[in-house]
Chains A and B, each alone.
Chain A
Amino acid sequence: MRKGLAVLITGLLARAASGDEDIVTAPVRVSDTREGGGAEARALDEPAFVTVVHVDRQRQETQSAAEALAESVGVSVRSLGGLGAFASISMRGAPAGQTEILIDGVPLSRFAFSAVDVGSLDLGTFDRVEIFRGGVPVEYGGAVLGGAVNFVTRVGPRPDARTTELTLGGGSFGAFRARAARGDAFADGRLRTTFAAAYARADGGFLVFDDNGTPLNPNDDSTRPRVNNGYDQVDAVARAETSGAIAASGGARVSWKGQGVPGPVGVSAEHTRLTTLRVLVDARARFARAFDAPELSLRPRGYFVLEAQRWRDPDGEAGLAPADESTRTLAGGLALDAAWTPSTHHRVTAAVEGRGEGFAMVDNRQMGAEVASGTRWGGAVSLADEIVLGDEETWVLVPAVRGDLLVTRGEATQTPVTGPLAPAPRDDAFVSPRMGVRFRALPWLTVKGNVGRYFRPPTVVELFGDRGFVAGNPSLHPETGTTADLGVVVAPVASDALDRAYLETAAFVSFSNDLVAFLPTSGRFARAVNIADARLAGIEVAGAARLLRRITLTGNYTFLRTVQSSDQVAIDGKSLPGRPRHELYLRADVLQPVAGVSVGAFADVTYVSGNFLDEGNLNEVPARLFLGAGVKVVPADGITVTLVVKNLLDNTVETVPGPSGPIPRAVADVLDYPLPGRSLYASVDLAF
């Protein structure tokens, strides 16, 4: 839950001190006449609750995708500590596995493992991140119980027409990053291209409090550098898009990451390694006036995703046994949308999709023997109607429905524990209806609401096991649930003193059924089971204001309450672990020319209330407060120098109750993986 350095974007408003307009994306774009305009106009128009984080503007300050997401309203991040470490996100309190993660609209596979490691996504080659908290478009699927996050690549030159960007940065714990990007426009802008490459590394050797695995014995405590906590990552992307009667876009993205997995503090692992290779290729087109019908457009699209990982634990430091396993997930999909727009106030979109996924895990210590595998074929149809009512566009209604059919097959699970298990074919059908509504009460005030029913299908490992310590459960129910939200957006007319102002608040509720968790059995292996239902409810507030075009104040607050319902007596009625009731983020930016040089400074504060590490709500993490600050100087046009300090108070040790008084413990989000202390980063960005 730690939140590090700030980004300027909060809630629907993205408001940089430079005064750039920000974009609020939303699924509803009924007519060209309704597009354009400022962020406030967009936020006032759209039913969905979407946060757009402009990482391109914050790249100098924000070191990771996890940090960028953590500072957004309604999003919690749990990290295994430090730059490049595994991180999962929870949106509005939903389990991490319920959030769809997409890159340029391509869903990353959650076939093998439900939660995507957002720590594996480097921001160096992205332009913005769209966070759909409520009102997820049907094209992003039905498995969006916890929302969706879409990482988007910018194509073409920068908004200021510069085409080339270079970044060099570095800082504490061996952090280094380099980035080069080129965006061009040809044929009067009808063809735009982007090539970008980024490299990032860190050794992650920050000092940690180590209790040697004996929290009640202070005599063997020490402070020492974290080991095996570094990473190297390379990302490269090429994209192109065309505009006109036939608009097309496509590209390829390759990323590779090698990282140490250091284990919990006190039980360190020195030789465990995880390497990840991810390849995405996608293409899409939009045919306006299809079949010479001006009201009809077609949008075919397709994609391919490869994700290969190798996990090496030669000494059995992180697991129960030594391991050298490789996993490979292939996914591909095709879709065709047909949009019929009979008027500027009405559009109907129908879509048909197909998707295939394959997963295989091999044991490299057994000559590459396949130990788990499975395939899933999915088909979906969806229908969405976007309706604008009233002369002043008072109402926007977006009813939609999506049907998914998933056919899952796994190889027979065979372990030394229970012998062979007959393959268990598994077919699932899901219907995910949803509805978004926007009512404009005043020109500067709208009321919005969304309701939908979504799902999260079981993964192949949950269903069929891995022939190791995980046994399959072919009878597992999918996680299903209903979410709803209702909120208000206020964007008053600017004045000379207060030239930008924005406030958004929303109440949300979610009812999740059949949450899945791996539980051990008395047979020495673990198995996925449907352990509980959960009710989640909360309130989000996000706001921003700019005074005198010099001072920008942004902030957000999330209140969250969760309750589990389970046959397990220790869990029933308890909160979900790792869900703080209060999260607050505030930031102030000041922009002031000094001797003709543009100088900006900022300070931010993150407060996370106490929350529980465990299902029984017995082990409580104390409340945390993190401060950050930074300076950004533009000594010459196209040159930006940034200096940032994170965790200014060096908050690395907290106290928790012990049998005879408080005891110290390293600050960690989960599983005793400590988080870094005070750290300093600097970067130089060139644009020309």
Chain B
Amino acid sequence: MTMSKPVAVLLLFLAAACHHDPPLTGLLPASDNGICVALGADYRNNVGVFGIVGLPSMLSFVNILPNAVQGDAVIRHYGDRIFVVNRVANNVTVVGPDDSMVGWGVEQQFSTGPKTNPQDVAVVGDKAYVAVYGDKDLQVWDLANVRTAPIARIDLSSYDPDGNPDANSVAVVGGKVAVTLDLLDWSSMFPVPRGNGKVVVIDPAADAVSGELDLSYTNPYGFMFPWHDGLMLATVADYSGTLGCLHALSMSPLAQRCLAQNTALGGTVSAIAVTDRDTVVAVSAFDAEFNQTAKLRRLDADGNLQDGSLTPPDQVPTDVAWSPTGHLVYADTKVGGLRVYDLAAGREITPAPINIGLSPVFANGIVCMAR
């Protein structure tokens, strides 16, 4: 379903001549009422790609924003803006709607600083909160007036003896900003958690810490997502699947509970997709020779783990996002492409893996929205 460049250009011109629709109609059929952005990566050569998939057509376009994505990136969307966090390149790239034929353009790109290793971004009004792995501070940027430095830095060094708390994910819920801290000891070749992970709550009005909470396991690795009135996040612990769980976090009062243990999930959660009815998680496991298997598993609206897998065993889904069109779009890393699952039909509807130009990033590389 990937369109060749000449055909895409032709469609762009035809669409531009015939329509004045919302953004991206020049690329996708008018019947598509959903659109997903997926990042692909060639980690070895530090090259990334920004691809889109229309739903329900499943038509895809690759590399529509050349050089906006580097080889190790993750993505968020807030409102009509998309935020690409280029982790190795130490930048955040803000993509917004524009009048171009593509319909999206790069609004701004700012560096979080050398060796900062940004991991995630959350937005409150015009302020962007950037969690970085390589520095002690949570950075606060003014999106309305981006300069060369953040407008504020929230010092989190006191949470880790080495002064760097390894901030991983940041999310906004109930007007508060929550940040996960990995609290890793980097003195060996592979970082080891010093103890259970932590969630720190920031009051965006004061840009100061207003609360903190210890998680029940180590390694809160991956993105947090809003769920009910709180957040959902996963701890991978030692990746063995014998420790860690899928956590539900409530903000008032600040508390956490495990919705499903990793032992019950059958592995560790690499991605979370909260739908309008339930939640789907991508669960990965490794055998004794490090061969990876993965599956999509479902939790009901109350967070109860459901039996079975949405995906067959010959697929390796490591990333998943929910589209308001009623589809799940997920990355099958075994074939390096995207697949689409129709929630209403209860089955995968992709005739073949969708090529987005490069293999999809392993987690947190897909966002979907209504069109």
Contact = CB atoms under 8 A, between A and B. Distances in A.
A and B interact: yes
Interface string B163-187: 0000000000000000000000011
Given A216-B68, A522-B292, A614-B47, A660 B105 contact: yes
Given A518-B44, A615-B45, A658-B66, A213 B89 contact: yes
Interface string A557-580: 000000000111111000001100
Interface string A410-432: 00000111110110100000000
Contacts of B334: 567
Contact of A469 (B45, B66, B189): B189
A677 interface: no
Contact of B109 (A214, A363, A415, A577): A214
Given A467-B190, A656-B66, A220 B355 contact: no
Interface residues of B, number: 72
A569 B337 contact: yes
A121 B221 CA distance: 43
Contacts of B110: 214, 217
Interface string B46-65: 11010000000000001111
A43 B30 CA distance: 66
B148 interface: yes
Contacts of A415: 190
B362 interface: yes
A75 B67 CA distance: 29
Contacts of B64: 659
Contacts of B49: 616, 618
A472 B286 CA distance: 12
Given A614-B358, A615-B42, A418 B286 contact: yes
B362 A567 contact: no
B150 interface: no
A473 B290 contact: yes
A365 interface: yes
Contacts of A616: 40, 42, 47, 49, 62, 357-358
A615 B358 contact: yes
A670 interface: yes
A184 interface: no
A532 to B, nearest CB: 11
A219 B115 CA distance: 20
Interface string A484-511: 0000000000000000000000000000
A323 B93 CA distance: 30
A285 interface: no
Interface in B40-98: 40, 42-47, 49, 62-68, 86, 88-91, 93
A516 to B, nearest CB: 11
Interface string B246-286: 00000000000000000000001010000000000010101
A302 B294 CA distance: 50
A523 B111 contact: no
B192 A416 contact: yes
B214 to A, nearest CB: 20
Interface residues of A, number: 75
Nearest to A472: B290
B356 interface: yes
A300 interface: no
B89 A613 contact: no
Contacts of B308: none
B286 A523 contact: yes
Given A618-B49, A659-B67, A417 B105 contact: no
A19 to B, nearest CB: 45
B114 A475 contact: no
Contacts, number: 211
B111 A321 contact: no
Contact of A267 (B90, B188, B282, B356): B90
B312 interface: no
B288 interface: yes
A374 to B, nearest CB: 16
B67 to A, nearest CB: 5
A619 interface: yes
B89 A475 contact: no
B324 interface: no
Given A419-B238, A658-B67, A671-B46, A366 B187 contact: yes
Contacts of A527: 290
B210 interface: no
A519 B71 CA distance: 12
B89 A266 contact: yes
Question: Is chain B's interface secondary structure helix, strand, loop, or mixed overall?
Answer: loop
B44 A618 contact: no
B44 to A, nearest CB: 6
Interface in B288-302: 288-292, 294
B100 interface: yes
Interface in A317-374: 317, 321-323, 325, 363, 365-366, 371
A660 B68 CA distance: 11
A593 interface: no
B111 A213 contact: yes
Given A568-B335, A616-B358, A672-B46, A323 B189 contact: yes
A264 interface: yes
Interface centre among A325, A371, A466, A614, by most B CB within 10 Å?
A614
Given A567-B334, A569-B335, A613-B47, A214 B91 contact: yes
A375 interface: no
A658 to B, nearest CB: 5
Given A421-B288, A523-B239, A220 B65 contact: no
A371 B318 CA distance: 29
A194 B227 CA distance: 76
B233 interface: no
A520 B43 contact: yes
B289 A570 contact: no
A90 to B, nearest CB: 14
A220 B62 CA distance: 28
B190 A619 contact: no
A316 interface: yes
A216 B288 contact: no
Nearest to A567: B335
A214 B89 contact: yes
B362 A217 contact: no
B197 interface: no
Given A517-B44, A659-B66, A475 B289 contact: yes
B290 A468 contact: no
Contacts of A217: 91, 108-111
B195 interface: no
A419 B240 contact: yes
Contacts of B115: 267, 315-317
A190 to B, nearest CB: 53
A473 B109 contact: no
Contacts of A523: 236, 239, 268, 284, 286, 292
Contacts of B239: 417-418, 523-524
24 contacts: A213-B91, A213-B114, A217-B111, A268-B114, A321-B190, A321-B191, A365-B189, A366-B189, A417-B240, A421-B288, A471-B290, A519-B43, A522-B268, A522-B270, A523-B292, A526-B43, A614-B42, A616-B47, A616-B62, A616-B358, A618-B66, A657-B66, A660-B105, A672-B46
Interface of B: 40, 42-47, 49, 62-68, 86, 88-91, 93, 100, 102, 105-106, 108-111, 114-115, 134, 148, 186-192, 221, 236, 238-240, 268, 270, 282, 284, 286, 288-292, 294, 318, 333-337, 352-359, 362-363
Interface of A: 212-217, 219-220, 264, 266-268, 315-317, 321-323, 325, 363, 365-366, 371, 415-419, 421-422, 424, 465-469, 471-475, 517-527, 566-571, 577-578, 613-616, 618-619, 656-660, 663, 670-672
Given A473-B289, A566-B336, 12 more contacts: A213-B90, A215-B67, A217-B109, A266-B90, A521-B284, A525-B190, A570-B337, A570-B357, A570-B359, A577-B45, A615-B44, A659-B105
User: Which 4 A-B residue pairs are closest in the complex by CB-CB distance?
Assistant: A468-B189, A614-B47, A568-B336, A522-B270
